[in-house]
Structure 1
Amino acid sequence: MSDLLVQREDTAEVRREARGPRAPRAPKMPRRHLHGVILLDKPLGLSSNDALQKVKWLLRAEKAGHTGTLDPLATGLLPLCFGAATKFSQVSLDADKRYTATVLLGQTTATGDAEGEVLRTREVTPEMTAPERLRAACDAFTGEIDQIPPMHSALKHQGRALYEYAREGIEIERAPRRVTIHGIDILRVQGDVLEIDVRCSKGTYIRTLAQDIGEQLGCGAHLIGLRRTGSGGVSLQGAVTLEALQAMTESERDAHLLPADVLLSDWPEVQLPAEDAARFLTGLRRRVTLGDAPQVRVYGPVPASASAGRHVLLGSARIQGGELIPTRLLSPLEVQGMLDQATPPDHPI
C-alpha cells in the first residue's frame, strides 16, 4: 500500500511539472459603495435580473436591485437602483407605467404573444381597422377594468409560477384583478399590425389588453412587440443601453448614475433645518406647517463648507395633521456617501 501511495505522489509531481508553474489568480476587483439610479434601456431577450447583474458588475457596485421585472421579450426602461436608492425601488414598482405595444390582429395564440402556438386565425376586414372602430375598441378598455391574469405569467399559485403549470398543460382558475388604463393612443395602423401607446397602472398585462382589443374588434389579436417607455416620473429620455455601458470607461458609466431621489421626482419636496433634519433621521416626527400629503421627499442642509444652496436627501415621509411622519429613512452613512459621491475630490466637505 505504501508503494502505491509513493507511486501516486510521483505521478502527480510529474503532472505538475508538465503543466508548469500555475498562473497567479487575477485579483478581485473591489466593490464600490455607489448610490443612485441607472436608467437602462433593456435589450430584447435578457431578463431583468440578468441585466441588473451585468450593470452591477460593470459599475463594481456593492449593493443593487431593480424596480420590478420587465419580460425578456420586452425592451425599454428598466430603472436599476444602487446603494441608498434601493430603499426606494418599491416606489418605481408601484408607479404607473407607459408602453408602446405592437399588436398583430387576426390571430390568437396560446400565450397571448408571438411565442405561443396559433390557436385561431380570422379575417381582418377594412371596417375593423377603420379609425373610429379602432378608437371605440381602445376606449372600451380605458379606465378601471378587470383583467384575468394570463396562465403564461409569473404570478404565483401555491408557491409556483403560473407559467410552470401552463407548461404542464394545467389550467389554474384565476381571479380577476382591477387595473386602471389611463389612456390608449393609436400610433400606427399598417395592414394587420396595430401600434398603440398605453398609460396604465402597475400590474397591467399588456398581452391581455392586446387580446381583449382583438376580441372587441371581432378578429382576435396577440402581442408581437412591447417596449416600456415610462415608469412613474422617469422615462426613456436619458436611458442608456447595455451595449453603450460596456463600451464606456468607469468614469463615463458613473456619469449616468442619477441621484437616488430621481424615483421620487414627482413627489412634493420638504426641506428641514439642520436641527429638525438630525431628529428626522432618528425616526422622530416633526411639526410642519404644510397640508396633508400621502408621500413627500425630505431633504436636509449639507455642511456650510459645501456648495451654497445644496441639500441632501434624508428619506421619505407622509404629512398628516401637521406632522411629518418618516416612512423610509436613509442611514447617516448613506447620506454621507451620497455627499461624498456628489462632491469633487478637490472640494472636500
Structure 2
Amino acid sequence: MSLVELSGAPVVTDTEPTAQDTPRSARRGEARAPRVRIVRRALHGVLLLDKPIGLSSNDALQKAKWLLRAEKAGHTGTLDPLATGLLPLCFGAATKFSQVSLEADKGYRATLRLGQRTASADAETPVTEERPVTCTRADIERVCAAYTGPIDQMPPMHSALKHQGKALYEYARAGQTIERVARRVTLHTIDIVSWQDERLVIDVHCSKGTYIRTLADDIGQALGCGAHLSALRRICSGPLTLAGSTTLAALEAMSEEQRAALLLPVDVLLADWPTVSLRADEAARFLSGMRRLVSLPDAAHVRVYGPDERTFLGSAHIEAGELIADRLLSPPEVQAMAPA
C-alpha cells in the first residue's frame, strides 16, 4: 500500500450551460447554472509548502486543500502575508500532531532596513522616523549578541493576539494602544548573513512566539538608527526545512497523483523524537489506549511503531517504566498509512 491512500473517486463536475442553450428566463436570473462539486478524500501526511508573499497562511492552506481534494487539513503556525517560506500543512491523521510543530523552534532569514522605523515594525505601514546609519559591523555583532538568549519581548500592536475578542491589529488600525504583557522567548542564535549600507540580513533561530519584527525594531533602536523588517522568510520549523518544499504554482501545475505523492509521512513532525517499537500484540493494546511496561528510561516524548519499525502508531511518554499514550492513530489510519 502506498503512503497516501488514494480513493480513486473522480472529481464530479456538472456541465455549465452556454448562453445559447440557457432558457431566456434562466438568463434573467430565475435559474442558475449548476456549480462544480468537489469529491473530498481521506489523505494523511504533511506537505511542505513554500508560502508566497501576499497570501495569508489560511488562504494558502485552503488552496492546497482544494488542489488535493483533502477532507481534513490544518497548518502548523501562521506566517504573515508579507512573509514567505516554510508552512507545513497537515492532512488527515497528521493534524493530530500539528501541535508538535506549533511548539517547535523556528528558523528565519530576516532582512532589516536600517535607518527607518515604522509603526508596525515592518513594511506594512509608512515610515514614521528616519535617522542616519552610522553603526559599524562591530556594533551590529555586539547588539545581536546582546539579544541572544532568553529575553522578555513585548508583543506588537500590529499582531493577531486577541484582546476582548478582537485582534490587536484592529485596535492599532483604529489608532488605539492596548496594554500588553511582555513574554519570555529565547533567541538561540542570531547570525549576520550580510550587511551593506542600510540593508542587514540575519538568520534567527528562536523559540515559538518570537516576533521577528519586534526584534528588528529593538536591534535598530540599540544601534541608534532605528530599523524595520523589510522581508522575512521562514527556513525551518523543528526538524522540517525548505528542502523538498513546493510552491502553490508548482502544485497547481501537477497532476492529482503527483500532488499526493508529495505528502510526507505523518511522523516527520516528530522526526527528532526517540522511537519505541512494539510487538504486534503489544501494538494492538497500545492502540486501545492501554499502558505498556517497557524497560526504558523516562522520556517526555517518544514516537511509537509496530514490530516492523515502519508502521507509526502514535506518540507517548515514558514514566516509571510505563509507556503512556498521548496521541494515537485510529486502526483505519494505521492501515491506510501502512508501508507496502
Instruction: Tell me: CA distance 1:17–1:32, structure 2 relative to 1, closer, same or farther (3 Å).
Output: closer
Among 242, 248, 252, the residue aligned to 1:246: 252
Which residue does 2:101 correspond to in 1?
A: 92
Which residue does 2:168 correspond to in 1?
A: 162
1:322 maps onto 2:328 in alignment: no
Q: Secondary structure at the match of 1:181?
A: strand
Please give the residue correspondences for 1:61-140 in structure 2 after superposition, counting only pairs within 5 Å: 61-125=70-134, 128=135, 130-140=136-146
1:336 maps onto 2:338 in alignment: no
Distance in 2 (alpha carbons) for counterparts of 1:164 and 1:292 = 46
Among 259, 268, 274, the residue aligned to 1:268: 274
Shift of residue 26, structure 1, vs aligned partner: 6.2
Shift of residue 115, structure 1, vs aligned partner: 1.5
1:198 maps onto 2:204 in alignment: yes
Shift of residue 168, structure 1, vs aligned partner: 1.0
Provide Cα deviations, 1:122-170, integer angstroms capped at 9, x if missing partner: 1101xx1x22211101011000000000000001111111001111111
Shift of residue 320, structure 1, vs aligned partner: 1.0
Provide Cα deviations, 1:238-264, integer angstroms capped at 9, x if missing partner: 100111000001111112100000100
Larger CA deviation: 29-38 vs 147-156: 29-38
Distance in 2 (alpha carbons) for counterparts of 1:69 and 1:15 = 48
Instruction: Tell me: CA distance 1:326–1:24, structure 2 relative to 1, closer, same or farther (3 Å).
Output: same
Distance in 2 (alpha carbons) for counterparts of 1:256 and 1:272 = 29
Provide Cα deviations, 1:265-324, integer angstroms capped at 9, x if missing partner: 0000111111111111111111111111110100113xxxxxxx5621111001111111
**Rg larger in structure:** 1
Which residue does 1:6 correspond to in 2?
A: none
Contact 2:305–2:314 at 8 Å: present in 1 too? yes
Question: Percent same amino acid at aligned positions?
Answer: 66
Q: Secondary structure at the match of 1:31?
A: coil
Instruction: Tell me: CA distance 1:338–1:124, structure 2 relative to 1, closer, same or farther (3 Å).
Output: same
Distance in 2 (alpha carbons) for counterparts of 1:94 and 1:166 = 27
Which residue does 1:9 correspond to in 2?
A: none
Which residue does 2:193 correspond to in 1?
A: 187
Which residue does 2:45 correspond to in 1?
A: 36
Equivalent position amino acid for 1:153 in 2: S
Which residue does 2:306 correspond to in 1?
A: 300
Distance in 1 (alpha carbons) for counterparts of 2:26 and 2:291 = 70
Provide Cα deviations, 1:8-36, integer angstroms capped at 9, x if missing partner: xxxxxx844988xx897466232111000
Distance in 2 (alpha carbons) for counterparts of 1:145 and 1:37 = 32
Provide Cα deviations, 1:312-347, integer angstroms capped at 9, x if missing partner: 1111001111111111111111111212xx54xxxx
Please give the residue correspondences for 1:7-22 in structure 2 after superposition, counting only pairs within 5 Å: 15-16=24-25
Contact 2:26–2:32 at 8 Å: present in 1 too? no
Q: Secondary structure at the match of 2:234?
A: strand
Instruction: Tell me: CA distance 1:291–1:150, structure 2 relative to 1, closer, same or farther (3 Å).
Output: same
CA RMSD of superposed structures (Å): 1.8
Equivalent position amino acid for 1:320 in 2: E
Q: Secondary structure at the match of 1:28?
A: coil
1:228 maps onto 2:234 in alignment: yes
Equivalent position amino acid for 1:94 in 2: E
Distance in 2 (alpha carbons) for counterparts of 1:173 and 1:110 = 16
How many residues are paired up? 317
Q: Secondary structure at the match of 1:224?
A: strand
Larger CA deviation: 24-33 vs 92-101: 24-33
Which residue does 1:57 correspond to in 2?
A: 66
Provide Cα deviations, 1:34-62, integer angstroms capped at 9, x if missing partner: 00000000000000110000000111111
Contact 1:33–1:337 at 8 Å: present in 2 too? no
Equivalent position amino acid for 2:190 in 1: I
Gaps of 5+ in 1: 1-13, 302-308, 344-349
Shift of residue 117, structure 1, vs aligned partner: 2.4
TM-score by length of 2: 0.90
Equivalent position amino acid for 2:130 in 1: T
Question: After TM superposition, where is structure 1 displaced by more than 4 Å over at least 4 residues in a row?
Answer: none
Among 156, 171, 181, the residue aligned to 1:175: 181
Contact 1:91–1:263 at 8 Å: present in 2 too? yes
Contact 2:148–2:189 at 8 Å: present in 1 too? yes
Which residue does 1:305 correspond to in 2?
A: none
Contact 2:86–2:242 at 8 Å: present in 1 too? yes
